[in-house]
Amino acid sequence: MTETPDLPSAERPRRAPPLTELTLADIPPRVGLFPLSGALLLPGGHLPLLVFEPPYVALLEDALAGRRMIGVIQPLMDPDTDEHSLLYRTGTLGRITEFTEHVDGTFSVTLLGISRFRLIRETPTDQGWREGIIDATPFAADLVEEDPLPINRDLLLNGLKTYLDSRDLQASWPLIEDMDDETLLLVLPMLVPFTPVEKQSLLEAMTLGERAGLLLDLLERGME
């Protein structure tokens, strides 16, 4: 019996390219879907999760055996049944960058947002989670670095302070004030306690400029 020699590490096939080399061609056409109400994962952002429901533990195990990618998407209330059986049409492809399997079979994972996608169709799997056929083409710009966007930091931070004060919420202001403009537009939409509908609107904003304008509008409306 002939033994196959080990390949040098540089020649071994990778499950997915390094994050800085990802292109549309690396986005899988099918991805397991993780419905999360009120959760927002933007491209470049990080989302920590504790996964304990058996169908989604199975989803993570499947993802870890492959490209380590899952689709985070918000459920949409079905007006006829008052159930979250429907899904929004836009979600975010997340790559598992950290994970810990606990002795009780649950997982702690961190997802890195890669690109948004349109959900074309979904089908159930035998393991209880849903698989989506997705198209990331409308969001190809998520895979390239955008030019810096000038924003009115004073207006944004004052709006944030008033919004949080009106809800008796605290923030780490030295940390926030040290963030650059791009980081502010990434972190604030994910952390501010907007409604699921408002977070979906922020996700679907096509450009950083649109996101910045919507973020300011939501903060101002939240003060009323």
pLDDT of 200 > 50? The answer is yes
CATH architecture of 11-143: Roll (2.30)
The arithmetic mean of pLDDT across residues 71-100, rounded, is 84
pLDDT digits (tens, 9 = 90+) for 13-42: 345 667 677 889 999 999 999 999 999 999
Per-residue b or e along 140-176, where b marks 16 or more CB atoms closer than 10 Å to that residue's CB: eebbeeeeeeebeeeebbebbeebbeeeeeebeeeeb
pLDDT of 210 > 70? The answer is yes
Distance between CA 206 and CA 96 in Å, rounded?
24
pLDDT digits (tens, 9 = 90+) for 140-197: 999 987 777 778 889 999 999 999 999 999 989 999 999 998 899 999 999 999 999 9
pLDDT of 116 > 90? The answer is yes
Q: How many CB atoms lie within 10 A of CB 114?
A: 23
At residue 149, the pLDDT reads 73
- Consecutive H or E run containing 105: none
At residue 129, the pLDDT reads 95
Question: pTM score, two decimals?
Answer: 0.86
Distance between CA 101 and CA 80 in Å, rounded?
38
> Does the CA dihedral 106-109-113-115 come out positive or negative?
negative
At residue 78, the pLDDT reads 58
Sequence-ordered list of residues with C-beta below 8 angstroms from that of 26, at least 6 positions apart, any chain: 16, 17
